[in-house]
Amino acid sequence: MSGKSVQTGSAGDAPGAAIASGEARESASPPVVSIANVTKRYGDLVAVDDVSFEVHGEILGLLGANGAGKSTLLKMLVGLLRPDSGRLAIDGHDVRLDAVEARRLVGYLPEDLELYERLTGREFLRFVTGIKGSAPDDAVLDSAFDEFGILEKADHLIKEYSLGMRKKTGLIAAMAGSPRLLVLDEPLNALDAQTMRLVERKLEAFLDAGGAVILSSHVMGFVERVCSRVVVLRNGRISANDRPDRLREATGLAGAPFDDVFFRYALG
């Protein structure tokens, strides 16, 4: 494949993913996320190079090989890094100029998840819910703990949690407080197949409630199943931006694993 961004088809065609109904919402609503001409450099390295796209009421997969710029772009979107140029906005709120309001709209799960180990899971989630401006509700927290299968550990210190339990706690925290946007960086790492299906159902419910999701993952079967659209980065630039089924069609890989489609755009 060439290095050009691939954008095929029209927004009126039927969605290709089971829970991906974002295109219909896209035409009828303003963007939840607007990323315009964003560039980020680290010395001579251009990590993100003039990237632009929008996210509407959809689940968007942000894909790329290691070092392609995905995590850097997500960190700029949630306000952890500042772009060298360009603009990022969430629901119209500039991430840099209106940072407090923009951050209130986001639930974020970082790839390198760090939790307060000297708090219990319940204490941590009460803290997160409070700083998001909602009153902590133990019944709601218990329901979330139970749904993720860790209710019996809710009052144990986080330092005792396994990696999978920490990831589950991080996902509950990201979804707490009714965010408008979920930003999930490698949300499936350390999760078993049953929990992955739960995450899929939770994302579907979040989308149905009017939210939008950006997720970065290397689990391509999950990406193809849940995402209405994928943006692929290569060397900091967009190499593809379209529905998974259209990218399949463009590559001629109709029967291949979606990993093979991804490799065409991510590696060339």
Name the more confident of 86 and 8.
Answer: 86
Q: Tell me if residue 182 falls in helix, strand or coil.
A: strand
Fold of the domain built from segment(s) 22-113+179-266: Rossmann fold (3.40.50)
Question: Over pLDDT 90: what percentage of the chain?
Answer: 84
- Judged against a pLDDT cut of 50, whether residue 173 lies above it is answered with yes
For 209-255, how does the pLDDT look when each residue is reduced to its tens digit (9 = 90+)?
999 999 999 999 999 999 999 999 999 999 999 999 999 999 999 88
pLDDT tops 50 at residue 16 = no
Mean per-residue pLDDT for 85-97?
96
Mean pLDDT of 143-171: 97
Kind of pairing between the strands at 33-42 and 237-242: unpaired
Share of the chain above pLDDT 70, in %: 90
Phi, psi of 197 (to 5 degrees): -65, -35
Higher-confidence residue of 30 and 32: namely 32
**Is residue 94 exposed (0-12), middle (13-18) or buried (19+ Cβ within 10 Å)?**
middle
List helix spans (H) across 12-148: 22-28, 70-77, 99-104, 121-131, 138-147
1/71 Cα distance (integer angstroms): 24
pLDDT for res 131: 87
d(CA 186, CA 200): 14
pTM, 2 dp? 0.88
How are beta strands 59-64 and 212-216 bridged, if at all? parallel
**pLDDT at residue 7 in the model:** 53
Q: Where are the domains of the chain?
A: 22-113+179-266
What does the pLDDT read at residue 6? 53
Angle (CA) 58 223 9, round 5°: 60
DSSP 8-state class, residue 157: B
Q: Write 82-85 long-range contacts (CB < 8 A, 24+).
A: 83/38, 83/39, 83/40, 83/48, 84/39, 84/40, 84/41, 85/37, 85/38, 85/39
Beta carbons within 10 angstroms of residue 26's beta carbon: 20
- Mean pLDDT over all residues of the chain? 90
- Reading the block at residue 22, the tokens are 């974002």
Residues 154-166 have pLDDT tens digits of: 999 999 999 999 9
